[in-house]
Chain A
Amino acid sequence: MLSNLKLILIGVLAAALFAAGYALGARKVAALETQIESIKNSGKEAEAKQKLAQEEITRTLKDKEAAFAKQAQQMKAEADQKAKALAAALAGADTRIKSLQGQVAGIQTERARLEEKLKTASVAEKTEIQGRIDALDKDKKALEAKVDANECLALAVPDAVIGSLMVHQ
């Protein structure tokens, strides 16, 4: 009986000590809790700011990626179109040469006719005819230069000129 009473008393004393200690500790902890709350809030706010900034960066980069993809696609389409036009222009060299040579032949025929006319022309006519012949000669020279340029496309670039640009892959 006495033993049980002693046990109860010890229990009550221990509980009282615990409660007193807890109350004492809680007063000091209250200030810490306020600080911790403040730290928590700061942390949360900083995290939110960082999250927002990261989201903005990610969104901007996605927009820029989309704009870049669009521009690159447009550029590729233009390049493909130009490549086709260039291929057609290069393939059409022989046709152009024939056409230009036809024009040269026409000029030669006209020139021969004017030279013939020149033989029987008056002094005043001679000046006018000579002027036309000179103009035809000029046109012929220009056409021949175009023929040469088109014929040149099929010629090999001299090694001495291209050597330094060679890229071996």
Chain B
Amino acid sequence: MKRILICLVSAASFGCTTVAVPVVKEALKCEVPASMLAACDDAAAIKPGIAFGEMINVSARDRDSLRACALRQKSLADAIADCNSRIDKYNADIREYNARNAAKQ
């Protein structure tokens, strides 16, 4: 009797399968390039007794540094704005999709 039960359970087990349902694991990532995340340079050092000519040089270096920083900041802001816009679009798609599915049920 025991043997029959074991056989039946074994046979029934062949009918058992797991169903893999795809799961949306993580939220969208907005990995902005590291080059856009670099910090701005400090102002150039001004030595005591600096001459007017060298001061112009220091000012020029600071201006270049500020320009580079402004470009980086603008590029970063653009990238994040673009990311946000795409994430918003994706979320809107998902909302619309969920609404459609809810209407079906």
Contact = CB atoms under 8 A, between A and B. Distances in A.
Interface stretch (A37-45, A101-109, A121-129, A130-138): A37-45
A61 interface: yes
Contacts of B64: 75, 79, 82-83
B15 A157 contact: no
B66 to A, nearest CB: 11
A54 B28 contact: yes
22 contacts: A36-B19, A45-B97, A46-B94, A50-B28, A50-B90, A53-B90, A60-B86, A61-B30, A61-B82, A61-B83, A68-B33, A68-B71, A68-B72, A75-B64, A75-B68, A153-B51, A155-B51, A155-B52, A167-B42, A167-B45, A167-B46, A169-B45
Given A46-B24, A86-B56, 13 more contacts: A18-B11, A40-B19, A40-B21, A40-B22, A42-B101, A46-B94, A50-B90, A53-B28, A57-B28, A65-B79, A79-B67, A154-B52, A162-B50
A5 to B, nearest CB: 14
Contact of A39 (B11, B12, B21, B44): B21
B55 A157 contact: yes
A93 B54 CA distance: 12
Interface of A: 7, 10-11, 14-15, 18, 22, 36, 39-40, 42-47, 49-50, 53-54, 56-58, 60-62, 64-65, 67-69, 71-72, 75-76, 79, 82-83, 86-87, 90, 93, 152-157, 159, 162, 165-169
Secondary structure dominating the interface of A: helix
Given A61-B33, A68-B71, A68-B75, A162 B55 contact: yes
Interface in B19-56: 19-24, 28-33, 35-36, 42-46, 48-53, 55-56
Interface of B: 1, 4-5, 8, 11-12, 15, 19-24, 28-33, 35-36, 42-46, 48-53, 55-57, 60-61, 64, 67-68, 71-72, 75, 78-79, 82-83, 86-87, 89-90, 93-94, 97, 101
Given A61-B31, A90-B53, A167-B43, A46 B71 contact: no
B75 A64 contact: yes
Contacts of A72: 35, 68, 71-72
